[in-house]
Amino acid sequence: MKERYDLKKDGFCGRWFEGTTEREKVVIAIPGTGTAEENMMKLLGYIPKAGFSMLVIGHSVWNDDLPDDPVQVPLDYVEKAIAVLKEAGFEHIAMFGVSFGARYDLICASMFSDIEVVISAAPYDYITESVKGITKPLNCSTITYKGKDLPYIDVEVLHHNIIGGFIKLLFAKGYGLGNMMRWGYDSCIEEERARVQCENITADVLLLAPAVDDCWPSDVAVPRIEKRIKDAGKVKRLKTVIYPKGSHIIALDLDATPDRKKKMQKMLTMEKKDPAACDKARRDSMNEVISFLREWDIS
């Protein structure tokens, strides 16, 4: 394996960290939105530190080959990465993601049978349209495969009078500047054609979510994802953990990026309300990730 993978040469942009005590267990990690490359390595550093091999795949922000936002992100990145790992002799592959990455890894696990474990922190179970920044809808999917958009739903509020929508946000009960993104995603009309087919997953599944998510409806999505997986009966190991006082930023070592932590604590309602509780939820969720990976039976 190479330390770095290049989009033009290798078909995906990635960073490789070879494990020690758990070397044969490889975690393909997918970032959330707006996370620069080096910040992502710090946020995820606890995974290789625990002995696991890790391949982090970038989809936006990292360099000039990638867009500034998650726009039409190919599932092909993971399909190519799996082929590279298999060629290098790594047979046991997990996926881990937070936020955008959490939804992306559930989609991959529903389509690619080589994935044995999927850990999804604060996911949403509907594919949405791509958005530039937080205000400009791009009328295309956030996810593609084989060069084609996967079906998606519009962020409805962005297709109307944005100034009027912003004024409504300020006066809407339960909403404010701290959960402006959630306001946008709550405007989506959820349609079956754009739903993530979680019932097709056969990998072990760990679902993590805050009880109240400021960014998008992971708090609503996780219970229904769990039910669909249970009802399908294809998964041997399924665990769900809800953090009553956690924020959207879980299962990441936010202490490793002090500047980003300050930003989140100023922006997210739950982080402002009880930062100590959010810190504890992050520590507990990171421990859940490591425990779930350690319990992964590859014998």
Is pLDDT at 177 greater than 70 in this prediction?
no
The first and second tokens of residue 137, run together, are 């809808």
Least confident of 62-71, 130-139, 196-205, 220-229: 130-139
Supply the Cα-derived Rg of the chain in whole angstroms.
18
Picking from 237, 281, 14, 228, the residue whose alpha carbon sits closest to that of residue 122 is 281
Tokens 């047979």: give the residue.
Answer: 91
State which amino acid sits at residue 57: I
Is pLDDT at 139 greater than 90 in this prediction?
yes
Is pLDDT at 174 greater than 90 in this prediction?
no
- Is residue 140 within 8 A of residue 153, CB to CB? The reply is no
Q: 230 — phi, psi (to 5°)?
A: -60, -45
Least confident of 74-88, 114-128, 155-169, 253-267: 155-169
d(CA 223, CA 103): 14
